[in-house]
Structure 1
Amino acid sequence: MGAKWRRFWRINGAGLAFLSPWIVGFLALQVWPFVGSAYLSLTSYDVVSPPRWVGAENYRTLISDDPMFWSSLWITLRYAIVAVPLNVIAGVALALLLNAEVKGQAIFRTLFYIPSILPQVATAVLFGWLLNPELGLVNGILRLVGIEGPAWLSDKAWAPWTLVALAVWGVGGSMVIYLAGLKDVPTHLYEAAVLDGAGPFARLKSVTLPMLSPVIFFNVVMGVIGSFQAFTEAYVMTKGGPEGSTTFYSLYLFQRAWGTLDMGYACAMAWVLFAFIAITTALVFRSQKRWVNFER
């Protein structure tokens, strides 16, 4: 056994030495917090006092005694149901337009891509100014044409949809991925479709979308995961208001963790979110058999 270990270290020792900083970082920054949060979710912990074991009490309270849990979950689910399809539609539409040979193509691609690389906090602050009901540019333009704009962020009927629109505004990242997918569609398929008499819409339906479906699938999965973790825009722009209409699940989790220092409860919320995302993602993966074409 000793000879085998010496041979193992002689062959792999240098590689493991180079990997060791990453391994230590992964264990310290990923595995340990992961395991620690699972333990804390079964305790009552307020940072100041030592954790006190309560078992599944946090989970029971979440499900049966916390209406804000269900409200924030529904707000997040509704946001995902609307924002993800709109992002797919907008991203594919922009990619199709910018895939055409037009003058200034590179400029337009850059302009549409820039919003996706701006810091989320900066974007939220900027739109907070633009959508100010009294001094904002958007309502100022509406007044010029005789329309009194709404209170975009302080009216509970408008605030959730304003955040959806902000999510769609940052569609440039997925647009670039769709553009790459369009470049990968074999040209002979379009040529065959033209010979069969297919028009532009028929080619879109029969060639482009099926061949682009793996890319759409990827963006749907990433969009679902990202939507369920929506936080920054609501935190910066509305703080969860008005009347809790934009209190996303992650924002409510943050409020419980750092607003009331109820860390054990917040960890339980995090694990519920993890389970919810895992189940939803699994359902999306299961659905791919019906609409994703991996053949080339």
Structure 2
Amino acid sequence: MTAKTHAVRVAGTALARGARPRPGSLIRPLAFMAPALVGFAVFFAYPLGALLYYSFTRYDMLNTPTWVGLRNYAFLVAQDPLARKAAYNTVWLVVVITVLRLVFATGVAAVMARIRRGAGLLRTLVYLPALAPPVAATLVFTFLFNPGTGPVNTTLARLGIQGPLWFSDPAWAKPALTLLTLWVSGELIIILMAGMLDVPEELYEAAGLDGAGSLRRFWHITLPSIAPVLVFGVINSIILGLQYFTQAVVAASVASGSADIAGSQRVIGYPDNSTLTFPVWLYQQGFHYYNMGYASAMSIVLFVVSTVFTLYFVQRLRRASHAEGTA
């Protein structure tokens, strides 16, 4: 017993003195981590470093890059009017999509969580649009909202309501894209519904005994309990809005009557640049005008903005999770 106690004391003293592990003991952990480290270096670290370098150059992917310093960033901030238009459209989509998507998904999830009969079928119908590829979903949606022959405007006309031009009207193009995003929000709805079903039933029973109605129970019990899931939804919606590309390009292409969705100038941003988002203009600069240096600068700005928002809301998510755990 004395020898064992002495050995424990010696080991504790060594740890207290900051004893370093032997070099050979690190080989096995590094070997297991090697695939992830190599993948991170090849597919993230190197592309990000190259992107940062090219953002300070004039580069057309054919000739040797020429160092121009901060000129690409200066042109982006002060001299590119379409970049400002694209930034405005992107911010509009981020704010509106984030707010409406959270409200819509939370409301539908709350209804689905209360349904007992036919719940499986309803969940399948809600989730099905999210399984459709973005191009296919946008094509279907633009058909439904065709101003002349689409079922939506046809139904409105029968009710005596003059339907808008939707994707052919600059005032309605972004709201139509928002409706498209809500239509394919089944994944977020299912996640929120799972969070609501995980709320302990005892909390609702206790609140009911205290005289709390359905609305008060939802506001004071359901929403605080699913706060981490709501923060996740905010992060997901912000990233979705900042990266809004495929739906905007396909909708502009179909609404303009062109089958070319590869980035022609007459299609991008139709109508009147109302669907020109920051990623779309970035793609146009890089792969249509071959201004890869300028496109790299735009990519760095988009990456920084996305990272800042993500880190902020991840911190909020951690606080919400900690508050739920200590409650």
TM-score, length-scaled by structure 1: 0.90
1:124-175, Cα deviation, whole Å (9 max, x unpaired): 1111222222232222323333333222111101111100111111121111
Match of 2:69 in 1: 55
Letter in 2 for 1:214: P
- Structure 1 residues 216 and 6, CA gap change in structure 2 (3 angstroms): closer
Match of 2:324 in 1: 294
- Structure 1 residues 265 and 122, CA gap change in structure 2 (3 angstroms): same
Q: How many angstroms does 1:58 deviate by?
A: 0.3
1:185-223, Cα deviation, whole Å (9 max, x unpaired): 122211211111111111111111111111101111111
Q: How many angstroms does 1:287 deviate by?
A: 6.0
Letter in 1 for 2:300: W
Match of 1:281 in 2: 310
Q: Percent identity?
A: 36
- Picking from 252, 267, 290, the partner of 2:281 is 252
Match of 1:95 in 2: 109
1:47-100, Cα deviation, whole Å (9 max, x unpaired): 111111111110011111111122111111111111111111111111111111
Q: Does the residue aligned with 1:146 lie in a helix, a strand or coil?
A: coil
Match of 1:122 in 2: 136
Q: How many angstroms does 1:7 deviate by?
A: 5.2
Match of 2:293 in 1: 264
Letter in 1 for 2:152: V
Q: Does the residue aligned with 1:103 lie in a helix, a strand or coil?
A: coil
- Picking from 217, 222, 232, the partner of 1:218 is 232
Q: Does the residue aligned with 1:266 lie in a helix, a strand or coil?
A: helix
Trace 1:141-152 onto structure 2 (pairs within 5 A). 141-152=155-166
Letter in 2 for 1:269: M
- Structure 1 residues 264 and 147, CA gap change in structure 2 (3 angstroms): same
- Picking from 133, 140, 144, the partner of 2:147 is 133
Q: Does the residue aligned with 1:294 lie in a helix, a strand or coil?
A: helix
Match of 1:162 in 2: 176
Unaligned runs of 5+ in 2: 1-21, 253-267
Match of 1:189 in 2: 203
Instruction: Say which is worse superposed, 71-80 or 25-34, in terms of deviation.
Output: 25-34
Match of 1:200 in 2: 214
For residues 281 and 22 of structure 1, what CA distance do their matches in structure 2 show?
A: 22
For residues 267 and 180 of structure 1, what CA distance do their matches in structure 2 show?
A: 40
Higher Cα radius of gyration: 2
Letter in 1 for 2:229: V
Q: Does the residue aligned with 2:170 lie in a helix, a strand or coil?
A: coil
Match of 2:13 in 1: none
Letter in 2 for 1:294: E
For residues 212 and 39 of structure 1, what CA distance do their matches in structure 2 show?
A: 42
For residues 242 and 115 of structure 2, what CA distance do their matches in structure 1 show?
A: 37
Q: Does the residue aligned with 2:156 lie in a helix, a strand or coil?
A: helix
Q: How many angstroms does 1:17 deviate by?
A: 4.8
Match of 1:109 in 2: 123
Q: How many angstroms does 1:5 deviate by?
A: 4.5
- Picking from 156, 162, 167, the partner of 1:153 is 167
TM-score, length-scaled by structure 2: 0.82
Match of 1:71 in 2: 85
For residues 146 and 109 of structure 2, what CA distance do their matches in structure 1 show?
A: 32
- Structure 1 residues 32 and 109, CA gap change in structure 2 (3 angstroms): same
Unaligned runs of 5+ in 1: none
For residues 22 and 275 of structure 1, what CA distance do their matches in structure 2 show?
A: 23
- Structure 1 residues 128 and 101, CA gap change in structure 2 (3 angstroms): closer
